[in-house]
Amino acid sequence: MASKLTAPVIAARKVRNGCDPLVMVTAYDAPGARMVSESGADLILVGDSLAMVVLGYEDTMQVTVDDMVHHTAAVARAKPSCFVVADLPWLSYHVSEADTVNNAARLIRAGAQAVKLEGGLERIRMIEAIIEAEIPVMGHLGLTPQSVLAMGGFKVQGKSTNAAMRIQSQAKALAHAGCFAIVLEGVPNEVGKLITDSVDVPTIGIGAGPDCDGQVLVFHDVLGIEDRFKPKFVRRYGALKAQGVEALAAFAADVRSRAFPADDECYHLSDAEAEALGLYGSPVIPRPPDVEDQLGVW
């Protein structure tokens, strides 16, 4: 197994320098983390998309630091070989530097190796405070889901020259402040390339085109567990929702037809114990009526 990545190693992973693109996938629990790790991905993101794909909320603004700590710890317990980044949820890095650093530290103590937060120039002070506490920070620009109310919906960003240049200057500021990588979400390909070319740290795109230094997708989207809505940038590599429903329906049918459980899926008493209980060896079905009377219940 390749040795685990570190923030400084990731910071140097630019495709223009001949590096392979980074692969990041979200995970929210131990089985998911084991799957992502065994797939050979470079990074796991314990994303605040947790809110929407696992907890059933309409947007990411409902998720709390406690929720993120709980799920980060579950991911870390799987001991994935990937570098683990955890999202700082909305309002956990907006109020004061002390709160921000304490919240970031909770995610690190839960098992993350870095934290991610959304936003540009308005977040530089908090990013610097976290980095001063020796915690690596990944930035997130473009369509930042925690700004869904301010943006008026989940809308592609950077579509005008001014908007693209604003994201470019934010990316430069984040890199200058010390972010080791930047997620670029929901921007035109050309803007993805402009920003990737403008910074020395890797960009990891989601709906930001092929020129980023890596790509990230949500676990439930890649596997087709989430099948209600498919954003343009999602490619499904599985149909686990459909397979899961089919498997569960087969279980229900077997229970109802009594095909489940089969004898080799059952525990049995030894003949001696069965006999001591007045049963007739194993299997004990069908029971004679007098045995049912002796036991009183069944």
Q: Encode 135-148: b = buried (16+ Cβ within 10 Å), e = exposed.
A: bbbbbbbbbbbbeb
Query: If phi over 0 gives left and psi between -120 and 50 gives alpha, with beta otherwise, what is residue 115?
Result: beta
C-beta closer to ligand KIV: residue 204 or 279: 204
User: Rounded CA gap, 182 and 140, in Å?
Assistant: 5
Q: In the bound complex, what is the minimum distance in angstroms from residue 145's beta carbon to ligand KIV?
A: 7
C-beta closer to ligand KIV: residue 215 or 279: 215
User: Rounded CA gap, 193 and 138, in Å?
Assistant: 18
Which residues of this chain interact with ligand KIV, rule CB under 6 A? 26, 45, 47-49, 87, 183, 185, 206, 216, 218
User: Rounded CA gap, 58 and 61, in Å?
Assistant: 9
Q: In the bound complex, what is the minimum distance in angstroms from residue 57's beta carbon to ligand KIV?
A: 12
Q: In the bound complex, what is the minimum distance in angstroms from residue 13's beta carbon to ligand KIV?
A: 17
Residue 166 per-residue DSSP state: H
C-beta closer to ligand KIV: residue 29 or 48: 48
What residues are annotated to the active site?
185
The residue of the chain with the least Cβ separation from ligand KIV equals 47
C-beta closer to ligand KIV: residue 33 or 216: 216
User: Rounded CA gap, 205 and 185, in Å?
Assistant: 6
C-beta closer to ligand KIV: residue 71 or 279: 71
**SS3 of 100-131:** HHHHHHHHHHHCCCEEECCCCHHHHHHHHHHH
Gap between the terminal Cα atoms of the chain: 53
Query: If phi over 0 gives left and psi between -120 and 50 gives alpha, with beta otherwise, what is residue 41?
Result: beta
Q: In the bound complex, what is the minimum distance in angstroms from residue 256's beta carbon to ligand KIV?
A: 39
Q: In the bound complex, what is the minimum distance in angstroms from residue 204's beta carbon to ligand KIV?
A: 8
C-beta closer to ligand KIV: residue 145 or 279: 145
Q: In the bound complex, what is the minimum distance in angstroms from residue 6's beta carbon to ligand KIV?
A: 20
Q: What is the 3-state composition of the chain as percent helix, strand, coil, each rounded to the nearest 5?
A: 45, 10, 45
Q: What are phi and psi of 273, to 5 degrees?
A: -65, -40
Residue 239 per-residue DSSP state: -
